[in-house]
């Protein structure tokens, strides 16, 4: 029986690879039977109670849960309702496993949020077919959700995705006592670029800028998103101000190195960006929006000081800020 084959924080949004199944049953013999059915095609994990299920879900999100109805302390119905009541786990399909073929119990499970029922004793072919069907449905839904989180023009994350990730990383850093940085990026004099070259070339410019920025973000937790118009934003977990400033200057230089002519810019002869960075240690009672606002203030500082440069500041969740840093890149 396998507890963890590969370290992953979330299987919920992954595409490709082996799906992760979580079997929840207080009887190890039942888990063993299901494990033997799925071990060759899926990664299989187990939990022996409802509370053990939620402990597991704090670390990993499976692609599907096979959930026993009758368990001590917390029933399968209660577990399912709690799963569906959480935004983080609501999209995980739940198949109830039961020895009771009573239609009323099945109806109760569907009302609780289950997608299917499997009746003991198990018929391997039927069980595999039902699980495969639900995984196919979930994979299609995940793909649609992923598309809804991508900016259609540049291919990077969109504002909706950024807002969600910033909130998640803020809570994580507050819980773990870690640092978090936000970088705001604005293409200098972009309206003038559009006016001279037209909106099609303007769109192409934004795509190239996004590509240059994305290539530098090599850590998997880091996120680049299009914030709106000609603005981009980065979320950098486990990053202090010094790290954010170093990265910001590299990003500014990468965009400049594209060499996109911009004769109407007052900052340089080519397309450049202004960048504002803010970093600090989030607190449980603080606000991710305040960190973002501080980065936006630093972006304004970069613009006021000549553009094509980087400004940054340490952020405190208690409202105290360090001195601004003008880290001019040009």
Query: Which of 169, 179, 230, 252 is labelled catalytic?
Result: 230
The tokens describing 122, both together, are 């198990």
Q: What is the CA radius of gyration of the chain?
A: 25
The tokens describing 292, both together, are 């973002």
Q: Is 195 helix (H, G, I), strand (E, B) or coil?
A: helix
- 296 membership: H or E segment, kind and range: helix 288-304
Query: Is the peptide bond preceding residue 172 cis, with omega within 30 degrees of 0?
Result: no
How large is the greatest C-alpha to C-alpha distance in the chain, in angstroms?
76
Q: Is 149 helix (H, G, I), strand (E, B) or coil?
A: coil
CA dist 69 and 309 (Å) reads: 60
Distance of CA 16 to the CA centre of its chain: 17
Q: Does residue 230 carry a catalytic annotation?
A: yes
Tell me the C-alpha to C-alpha distance, in Å, between residue 84 and each of 56, 110, 175, 177, 207: 16, 12, 24, 29, 38
80, 113 Cβ separation under 8 angstroms: yes
Q: How many CB atoms lie within 10 A of CB 317?
A: 20
Q: Which residues are catalytic?
A: 230
């Amino acid at each position: 029986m396998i507890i963890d084959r590969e370290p992953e924080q979330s299987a919920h949004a992954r595409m490709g690879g082996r799906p992760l199944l979580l079997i929840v049953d207080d009887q190890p013999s039942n888990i063993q039977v299901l494990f033997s059915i799925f071990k060759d095609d899926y990664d299989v994990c187990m939990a022996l109670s409802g509370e053990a299920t939620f402990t597991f879900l704090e670390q990993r999100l499976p692609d599907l849960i096979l959930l026993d109805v009758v368990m001590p302390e917390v029933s399968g119905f209660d577990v399912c309702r709690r799963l569906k009541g959480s935004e983080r786990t609501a999209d995980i399909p739940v198949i109830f496993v039961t020895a009771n073929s009573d239609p009323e119990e099945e109806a109760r499970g569907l009302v609780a949020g289950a997608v299917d029922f499997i009746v003991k004793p198990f018929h391997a072919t039927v069980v595999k077919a039902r699980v495969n069907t639900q995984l196919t449905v979930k994979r299609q839904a995940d793909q649609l959700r992923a598309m809804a989180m991508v900016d259609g023009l540049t291919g990077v994350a969109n504002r909706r995705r950024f807002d969600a990730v910033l909130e998640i990383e803020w809570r994580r850093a507050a819980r773990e006592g870690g640092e978090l940085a936000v970088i705001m990026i604005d293409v200098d004099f972009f309206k003038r670029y559009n006016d001279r070259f037209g909106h099609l070339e303007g769109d192409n410019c934004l795509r190239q800028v996004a590509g240059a920025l994305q290539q530098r973000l090599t850590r998997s937790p880091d996120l680049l998103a299009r914030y709106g118009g000609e603005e981009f934003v980065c979320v950098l977990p486990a990053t202090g101000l010094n790290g954010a400033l170093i990265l910001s200057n590299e990003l500014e230089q990468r965009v400049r190195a594209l060499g996109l002519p911009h004769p109407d810019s007052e900052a340089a002869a080519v397309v450049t960006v202004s960048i504002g960075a803010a970093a600090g240690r989030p607190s449980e009672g603080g606000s991710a929006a305040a960190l973002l606002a501080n980065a936006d203030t630093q972006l304004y500082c970069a613009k006021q000081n000549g553009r094509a440069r980087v400004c940054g500041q340490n952020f405190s969740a208690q409202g105290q800020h360090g001195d601004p840093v003008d880290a001019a890149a040009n």
